[in-house]
RNA sequence: GCCGAAGUGGCGGAAUGGUAGACGCGCUGGAUUCAAAAUCCAGUGUAGGCAACUACGUGUGGGUUCGAGUCCCACCUUCGGUACCA
């Protein structure tokens, strides 16, 4: 394009009414005036329309609308100090396109954004620098907002939420108190107020209460009445949905806090990668396990990917089996010491294999260990327990093939044949799962087999799988052998038979077990929601009155954990000891607290009297489309589904599930540039080179080395003449070749690409479309700026349909489009609409390119065509579309302009190109009139010269004709 | 181990069981230019051939089908999840 005068309007009003730049020559009347020179200048367009949209509150959404609702939600970000990189907006762009598309289709679209603003990094930063987390968080949020605004999202910012804002966490605390004040009725399968449980206790005691609880309770109404308030409180804690209990938790010394299961990966903390250990601590937990079954079965009702459902299903880990008790053989040992005869209770999914149970294993932490260990074995057991104690989680995970254990000296009795079964303890049995004890069947379980082999324990074959070749040990297939009354039965029948016998004998019950654990809800941190809980002198937990919410975080200037695994809040003594004899809870809530319900707050974000009004909740219902990364599969998504179900039980939300459809965007990876430097010791050192220094052939020009060395002293050791490889190109320029590695985009790896730079250089619309063009949104892919020119060129070509390439004069005219031109447009409408519906945004961009290329070849600048094209494009390139929309003479925003309607009539073809194949191999292509009958098509195909040639000496066996598609001749 | 997703040109990637490689990048040649950038035009899966054309081509090996990138079976590789869950 040739240089030409710039159109420098800086705002809508100025632009339309009295632009001084233009008013000298003419009063601006858009396309009617030919003198105006219009060059595609995305930066100016963006500035103007950003302001105009804000001034006109284009994206403000009303809760009061007769339009159907549609709720498009992004997972809100944690505002980190590093700012956004090009990977973050991928999902936001996809959801924004969809939101805009739905808006144009006439929906009232809720499309909000906010910040998950409590969290560890801000606090770590505060410990290091003394900057208050609130301050650094606010600065990070400001930065995020600035970056987001540049990309042209259609968020309704009047609904922004920040989880660290007291007006928000007031309601997080409120929901917590609701959880605290409820128990789960397993018969009615719903949460009920704790008062109703107390009423049951008063009337009939605990024996008949069907409730989810930590420890099964058994007491009469009279016993309940006799309890002290503290004792009652202890009992109720077993039932509350938010409860306090001493549990083995993941303790992370370096972070100074406990972590939830999903915050621990591979035996180290997910954040920071620090070691973690199992430690018994008194902690708040949420009884998510009460909802395990519903969380699993309701997966059928939502539109998540199968992979996602599977992941959640695995995490919940439902298994059916039997829980049964084994008597312990009286060896005249310590059994007399116990109040009742000790029994060992196990869980098994395979009760049918009981005759193959040649030993029992209980977890080292199991309560029975002390009781049943014989004097002869006590040293051995003590040694083993000491060994287990030295083992970190990491050790335990890294050598799962290695078995270890010790014999307690005690024996259990097989209830069916009275045989004595030795009882061992071993690491591989977990205290937390099932009953923490198993019957080991080495013949039918790989782990038990390894254990039996190592300790020379007997192995009794109990299933004959010979008639099922290829069946694995896990398959419930085969015929029972060596199993007394089960002999000859199929496994599935044997399971049923033995279950009945177990129940008849009263030694056990059918039982469903879940892998899912209750969620540890306490964190020994400062930067989180304070618990609205205070303890009286007896240590009974009391909820704060609702009127006192929010309980705000006290000011602190030292954020380090207090001594003895205490939260930093313990330092705020006046705050903690707020009232004589009372102490506030000093732990704070975990990161997932605020994010478990934020999507509800957006519906009515500024409500002071409720977390959201019932009117708003009933209008918006649930999230229609939720876009975010898979990494939240077992954390956030599970917790928020759980909270939502609880609120549903309370009648506070209208739907059982919060998210109808989940779209998981893939990660955009970075390409790291690695320089290999030989060290003096002869080793090779890998240095990450900032990507800004890397040329298109993935090399570092030697000429740039000094600059790099100034910026980054790691490179001072690099010497081109000694310790790195150097290549020369044709012109004799020297380069250091670099390795390329595709990995996570991260500051640490110097491979971060900043969206601001992309927007600055190519414009927001180009950036948006290029991110989409990169590939399927759900797929992980490396960022590569190279291809962006293609999209940039497309937008310019689009512009040139409106303005002359050489002199910038407007080209739009009112001529009647030809049939061919309509077809070009409507082909595009069809393809783009279909593809948006299936979230295939990359192919949408291709379709736009094809459309614009074809309109250009047709020299078409007809208003009727362009008007629709602009509307079609506006979800993808909102700035450019808005500008062109107004250039076409419209006064209102293109965001509200109706989405183009497909007219299939324009797509009807007069003639169809038919590929003609012989034996499935394409041999010719022939253009035939549409509407020919099958015999006519056959005849036409056979008459083709090329076909004649190929058919020479062959007999035609069959002709397959798919009208409108293809013709295949079989010879 | 187990569960899930995916393997297509130099690259990102297209293809309701029906013309494999759309669209874009890159590359090659040409136009324009003093020159370059930008832009425009043409070409571009591999091999053979001046060409028309021919053969081969979607991780590997089988199968179903008139026809397979697509469906079925087995295997290999990569990436994600999970990790002794009884």
Query: Taking every pair of C-alpha atoms in chain A, what is the biggest distance, in angstroms?
Result: 112
pLDDT-derived band at A473 (thresholds 50, 70, 90) equals: confident
Rounded to 10 degrees, what is the CA torsion of A371, A374, A379, A383?
Answer: -50
| Model confidence pLDDT, tens digit, residues A730-763 | 667 788 888 888 888 888 888 889 999 999 999 9
Q: Has residue A965 been placed in a domain?
A: yes
Q: Which nucleotide C1' is nearest A924 CA?
A: B19
Quickly give A946 CA vs B47 C1' distance in Å.
24
Beta strand residue intervals within A101-181, DSSP E? 108-110
A560 and A507 assigned to the same domain: no
Helix (H, G, I), strand (E, B) or coil at A741: strand
Read off the pLDDT of each residue in A254-263 and give the average, rounded to a whole number.
Answer: 78
pLDDT-derived band at A339 (thresholds 50, 70, 90) equals: very low
| Model confidence pLDDT, tens digit, residues A851-889 | 999 999 899 999 999 999 999 999 999 999 999 999 999
Which of strand B's nucleotides are less than 7 A from any protein C-beta?
3-5, 11-16, 18-20, 22-26, 38-41, 54, 66-68, 79-86
**CB of A69 closer than 8 Å to CB of A107:** yes
More confident residue, A535 or A696: A535
pLDDT-derived band at A400 (thresholds 50, 70, 90) equals: low
Among A198, A221, A202, smallest CA distance to A211 is for: A198
Q: Which residue is nearest to nucleotide B15 (CA to C1')?
A: A843
Q: Say what the pLDDT of residue A174 is.
A: 98
Q: Say what the pLDDT of residue A33 is.
A: 36
**CB of A476 closer than 8 Å to CB of A468:** no
Identify the CATH number of the domain in which residue A953 sits: 3.10.20.590
Quickly give A700 CA vs B34 C1' distance in Å.
33
Q: Which nucleotide C1' is nearest A318 CA?
A: B85
Structure tokens at A438: 């198993």
Instruction: Report the sign of the C-alpha dihedral through residues A582, A584, A585, A586, in that order.
Output: negative
**CB of A19 closer than 8 Å to CB of A28:** yes
Q: Say what the pLDDT of residue A465 is.
A: 82
Query: Rounded to an integer, what distance in angstroms lies between the CA atom of residue A253 and that of residue A268?
Result: 11
Q: Has residue A638 been placed in a domain?
A: yes
Q: Say what the pLDDT of residue A790 is.
A: 93
Q: Has residue A952 been placed in a domain?
A: yes
Q: Which nucleotide C1' is nearest A441 CA?
A: B86
Q: Has residue A932 been placed in a domain?
A: yes
Q: Count of alpha carbons within 13 Å of A863, Cβ hemisphere only?
A: 13
Q: Say what the pLDDT of residue A53 is.
A: 96
Q: Has residue A752 been placed in a domain?
A: no
- Asked whether residue A7 carries a pLDDT value surpassing 50, the answer given is no
The Cβ of residue A54 has, within 10 Å, a number of other Cβ atoms equal to 13
Rounded to 10 degrees, what is the CA torsion of A523, A526, A528, A530?
Answer: 90
Q: Which helix (H) or strand (E) holds A711?
A: helix A705-711
Query: Rounded to an integer, what distance in angstroms lies between the CA atom of residue A848 and that of residue A689?
Result: 37
User: Which residue, of A712, A743, A774, is where some domain finishes?
Assistant: A743
Query: Domain limits at A635?
Result: 69-165+595-664
Quickly give A806 CA vs B35 C1' distance in Å.
22
Q: Say what the pLDDT of residue A903 is.
A: 94
Number of domains within chain A: 6
Query: Rounded to an integer, what distance in angstroms lies between the CA atom of residue A39 and that of residue A41?
Result: 6
Q: Has residue A427 been placed in a domain?
A: yes
Question: Is the complex ipTM more than 0.85?
Answer: yes
Query: Rounded to an integer, what distance in angstroms lies between the CA atom of residue A692 and that of residue A743?
Result: 17
| Model confidence pLDDT, tens digit, residues A921-954 | 888 888 888 888 888 888 888 888 888 888 877 7
Query: Rounded to an integer, what distance in angstroms lies between the CA atom of residue A492 and that of residue A494?
Result: 5
Quickly give A214 CA vs B41 C1' distance in Å.
77
Quickly give A470 CA vs B73 C1' distance in Å.
14
Query: Rounded to an integer, what distance in angstroms lies between the CA atom of residue A331 and that of residue A621?
Result: 64
User: Which residue, of A664, A691, A719, is where some domain finishes?
Assistant: A664
A343 and A469 assigned to the same domain: yes
A533 and A647 assigned to the same domain: no
Query: Rounded to an integer, what distance in angstroms lies between the CA atom of residue A64 and that of residue A284?
Result: 40
Quickly give A775 CA vs B62 C1' distance in Å.
33
**CB of A664 closer than 8 Å to CB of A704:** no
Q: Say what the pLDDT of residue A34 is.
A: 39
Sequence-distant (6+) residues with CB within 8 A of A889 are A30, A31
Identify the CATH number of the domain in which residue A505 sits: 3.90.740.10
Q: Is A110 exposed, middle or buried (0-12, 13-18, 19+ CB in 10 A)?
A: buried
A443 and A478 assigned to the same domain: yes
The per-residue pLDDT of chain A, averaged, comes to 88
Beta bridge partners of A360: A423, A439
Quickly give A904 CA vs B45 C1' distance in Å.
35
pLDDT-derived band at A172 (thresholds 50, 70, 90) equals: very high
Q: Say what the pLDDT of residue A220 is.
A: 92
A433 and A286 assigned to the same domain: no
pLDDT-derived band at A262 (thresholds 50, 70, 90) equals: confident
Q: Which residue is nearest to nucleotide B14 (CA to C1')?
A: A843
- Asked whether residue A17 carries a pLDDT value surpassing 60, the answer given is no
Q: Has residue A5 been placed in a domain?
A: no
A480 and A332 assigned to the same domain: yes
Q: Say what the pLDDT of residue A343 is.
A: 87
pLDDT-derived band at A340 (thresholds 50, 70, 90) equals: low
Instruction: Report the sign of the C-alpha dihedral through residues A138, A143, A149, A153, in that order.
Output: negative
Identify the CATH number of the domain in which residue A633 sits: 3.40.50.620
Q: What angle do CA A412, A418, A423 make, to 5 degrees?
A: 15
A447 and A374 assigned to the same domain: yes
More confident residue, A217 or A882: A882
- Asked whether residue A323 carries a pLDDT value surpassing 90, the answer given is yes
A489 and A616 assigned to the same domain: no
A728 and A779 assigned to the same domain: no
pLDDT-derived band at A398 (thresholds 50, 70, 90) equals: low
A761 and A855 assigned to the same domain: yes
Helix (H, G, I), strand (E, B) or coil at A513: strand
Beta bridge partners of A542: A534
Cis bond upstream, residue A550 (ω within 30): yes
Query: Per residue in A649-663, is it b (16+ CB within 10 Å) or e — as a string?
Result: bbebbebebbbbebb
Among A334, A404, A408, smallest CA distance to A366 is for: A408
Quickly give A753 CA vs B78 C1' distance in Å.
25
Q: Say what the pLDDT of residue A89 is.
A: 94
- Asked whether residue A267 carries a pLDDT value surpassing 80, the answer given is no
Quickly give A822 CA vs B81 C1' distance in Å.
48
User: Which residue, of A885, A906, A927, is where some domain finishes?
Assistant: A906
Q: Which of A20-29, A66-75, A548-557 has the lowest mean pLDDT?
A: A20-29
Q: Which nucleotide C1' is nearest A317 CA?
A: B85
Q: Which helix (H) or strand (E) holds A764?
A: helix A764-773
Q: Which nucleotide C1' is nearest A635 CA?
A: B81
Quickly give A842 CA vs B14 C1' distance in Å.
10
**CB of A781 closer than 8 Å to CB of A668:** yes
Quickly give A40 CA vs B32 C1' distance in Å.
22
Alpha helices in A154-263 (DSSP H): 166-180, 194-204, 221-226, 229-237
Q: Which residue is nearest to nucleotide B23 (CA to C1')?
A: A846
- Asked whether residue A14 carries a pLDDT value surpassing 80, the answer given is no
| Model confidence pLDDT, tens digit, residues A520-552 | 899 888 999 999 999 999 999 999 999 998 999
Distances (CA, A) of A317 to A296, A511, A514, A515: 9, 14, 5, 5
Instruction: Report the sign of the C-alpha dihedral through residues A675, A676, A677, A681, in that order.
Output: positive
Q: Which of A393-402, A454-463, A597-606, A645-654 has the lowest mean pLDDT?
A: A393-402
Read off the pLDDT of each residue in A548-557 and give the average, rounded to a whole number.
Answer: 91
A638 and A684 assigned to the same domain: no
pLDDT-derived band at A464 (thresholds 50, 70, 90) equals: confident
Query: Rounded to an integer, what distance in angstroms lies between the CA atom of residue A190 and that of residue A177?
Result: 17
Quickly give A945 CA vs B71 C1' distance in Å.
35
Q: Which nucleotide C1' is nearest A353 CA?
A: B86
Structure tokens at A641: 């589904």
Query: Rounded to an integer, what distance in angstroms lies between the CA atom of residue A380 and that of residue A409?
Result: 10
Query: Per residue in A353-387, is it b (16+ CB within 10 Å) or e — as a string?
Result: bbbbbbbbbbbbbbebbebbbbeebeebbeebbee
| Model confidence pLDDT, tens digit, residues A881-893 | 999 999 999 999 9
DSSP A198: H
Query: What is the reported pTM?
Result: 0.91
Q: Which of A436-445, A496-505, A911-920 has the lowest mean pLDDT?
A: A911-920
Q: Say what the pLDDT of residue A470 is.
A: 66
Read off the pLDDT of each residue in A828-848 and give the average, rounded to a whole number.
Answer: 95
Q: Which nucleotide C1' is nearest A957 CA?
A: B66
Q: Has residue A926 been placed in a domain?
A: yes
A641 and A654 assigned to the same domain: yes
Q: Which nucleotide C1' is nearest A774 CA?
A: B12
Q: Which nucleotide C1' is nearest A435 CA?
A: B86
Q: Say what the pLDDT of residue A27 is.
A: 28
**CB of A323 closer than 8 Å to CB of A511:** yes
Structure tokens at A279: 């430690």
Distances (CA, A) of A624 to A102, A235, A442, A661: 11, 41, 49, 6
Structure tokens at A559: 């954020």
pLDDT-derived band at A32 (thresholds 50, 70, 90) equals: very low
**CB of A238 closer than 8 Å to CB of A209:** no
């Amino acid at each position: 394009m040739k240089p030409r005068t710039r159109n420098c309007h800086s705002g809508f009003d100025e632009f339309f009414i009295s632009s001084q730049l233009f008013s000298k020559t003419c009063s601006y009347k858009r396309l009617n005036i030919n003198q105006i020179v219009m060059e595609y200048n995305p930066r100016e367009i963006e500035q103007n329309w950003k302001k105009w949209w804000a001034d006109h509150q284009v994206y403000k959404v009303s809760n009061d609308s007769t339009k159907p609702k549609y709720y498009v939600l992004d997972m809100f970000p944690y505002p980190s100090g590093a700012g956004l990189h090009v990977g973050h907006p991928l999902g936001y762009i996809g959801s924004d396109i969809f939101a805009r598309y739905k808006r144009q289709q006439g929906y009232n679209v809720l499309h909000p954004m906010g910040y998950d603003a409590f969290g560890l990094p801000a606090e770590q930063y505060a410990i290091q620098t003394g900057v208050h987390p609130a301050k650094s968080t606010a600065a990070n949020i400001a930065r995020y907002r600035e970056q987001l605004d540049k990309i042209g999202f259609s968020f309704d910012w009047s609904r922004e939420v920040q989880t660290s804002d007291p007006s928000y966490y007031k309601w997080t605390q409120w929901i917590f108190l609701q959880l605290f004040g409820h128990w789960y009725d397993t018969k009615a399968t719903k949460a009920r107020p704790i008062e109703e449980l107390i009423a049951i206790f008063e009337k009939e005691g605990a024996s008949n209460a069907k409730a989810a609880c930590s420890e099964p309770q058994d007491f009469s109404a009279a016993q309940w009445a006799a309890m002290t308030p503290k004792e009652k409180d202890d009992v109720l804690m077993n039932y509350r949905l938010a409860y306090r209990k001493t549990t083995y938790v993941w303790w992370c010394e370096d972070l100074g806090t406990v972590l939830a299961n999903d915050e621990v990966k591979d035996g180290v903390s997910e954040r920071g990668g620090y070691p973690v250990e199992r430690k018994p601590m008194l902690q708040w937990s949420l009884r998510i396990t009460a909802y395990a079954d519903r969380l699993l079965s309701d997966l059928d009702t939502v539109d998540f990917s199968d992979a996602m459902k599977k992941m959640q299903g695995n995490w919940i880990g439902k298994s059916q089996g039997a829980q049964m008790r084994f008597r312990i053989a009286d060896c005249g040992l310590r059994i007399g010491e116990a109040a009742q005869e000790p029994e060992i209770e196990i869980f098994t999914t395979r009760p049918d294999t009981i005759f193959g149970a040649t030993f029992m294993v209980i977890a080292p932490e199991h309560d029975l260990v002390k009781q049943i260990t014989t004097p002869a074995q006590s040293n051995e057991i003590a040694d083993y327990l000491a060994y287990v104690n030295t083992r970190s989680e990491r050790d335990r995970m890294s050598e799962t093939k290695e078995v270890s254990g010790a014999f307690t000296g005690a024996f259990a009795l097989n209830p069916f044949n009275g045989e004595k079964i030795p009882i061992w303890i071993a690491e591989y049995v977990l205290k937390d799962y099932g009953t923490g004890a198993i019957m080991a069947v080495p013949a039918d379980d790989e782990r038990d087999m390894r254990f039996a082999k190592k300790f020379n324990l007997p192995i009794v074959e109990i299933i004959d799988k010979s008639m099922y070749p290829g069946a694995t040990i896990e398959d419930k297939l085969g015929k029972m052998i060596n199993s007394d009354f089960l002999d000859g039965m199929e496994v599935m029948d044997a399971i049923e038979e033995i279950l009945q016998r177990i129940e008849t004998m009263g030694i056990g019950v059918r039982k469903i077990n879940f892998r899912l654990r209750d969620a540890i809800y306490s964190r020994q941190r400062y930067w989180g929601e304070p618990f609205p809980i205070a303890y009286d002198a007896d240590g009974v937990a009391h909820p704060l009155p609702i009127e006192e919410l929010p309980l705000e975080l006290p000011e602190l200037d030292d954020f380090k954990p207090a001594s003895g695994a205490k939260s930093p809040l313990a330092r705020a003594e006046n705050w903690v000891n707020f009232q004589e004899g009372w102490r506030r809870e000093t732990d704070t809530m975990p990161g997932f607290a605020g994010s478990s319900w934020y999507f509800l707050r957006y519906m009515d974000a500024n409500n002071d009297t409720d977390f959201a009004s019932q009117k708003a909740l009933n209008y918006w219902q649930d999230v229609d489309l939720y876009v975010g990364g898979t990494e939240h599969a077992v954390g956030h998504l599970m917790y928020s589904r759980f909270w939502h179900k609880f609120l549903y039980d309370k009648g506070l939300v209208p739907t059982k599930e919060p998210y109808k459809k989940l779209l998981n965007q893939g990660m955009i990876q970075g390409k790291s540039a690695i320089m290999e430097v030989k060290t003096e010791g002869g080793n090779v050192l890998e240095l990450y080179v900032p990507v800004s220094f890397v040329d298109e052939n993935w090399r570092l020009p030697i000429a740039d080395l000094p600059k790099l060395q100034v910026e980054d002293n790691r490179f001072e050791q690099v010497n081109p003449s000694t310790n790195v490889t150097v290549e020369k190109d044709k012109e004799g320029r020297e380069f250091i070749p670099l390795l390329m590695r595709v990995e996570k985009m991260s500051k640490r790896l110097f491979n971060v690409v900043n969206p601001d730079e992309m927007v600055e250089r190519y414009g927001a619309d180009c950036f948006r479309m290029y991110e989409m063009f990169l590939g399927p949104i759900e797929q992980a892919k490396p960022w590569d700026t190279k291809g962006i020119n293609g999209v940039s060129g497309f937008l310019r070509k689009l512009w040139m349909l409106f303005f002359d390439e050489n002199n910038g004069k407007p080209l739009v005219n009112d001529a009647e489009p030809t049939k061919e031109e309509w077809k070009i447009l409507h082909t595009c409408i069809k393809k783009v609409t279909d593809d948006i519906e299936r979230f295939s945004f990359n192919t949408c961009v291709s379709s736009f390119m094809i459309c614009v290329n074809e309109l250009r070849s047709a020299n078409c600048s007809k208003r009727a065509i362009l008007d629709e094209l602009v509307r079609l494009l506006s979800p993808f390139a909102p700035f450019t579309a808005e500008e062109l929309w107004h250039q076409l003479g419209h006064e209102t925003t293109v965001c509200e302009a109706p989405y183009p309607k497909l007219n299939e009539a324009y797509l009807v073809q007069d003639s169809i190109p038919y590929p003609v194949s012989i034996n499935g191999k394409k041999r010719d292509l022939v253009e035939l009139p549409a509407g020919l009958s099958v015999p006519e098509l056959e005849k036409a195909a056979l008459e083709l010269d090329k076909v004649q040639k190929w058919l020479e000496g062959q007999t035609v066996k069959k002709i397959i004709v798919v009208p409108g598609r293809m013709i295949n001749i079989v010879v």
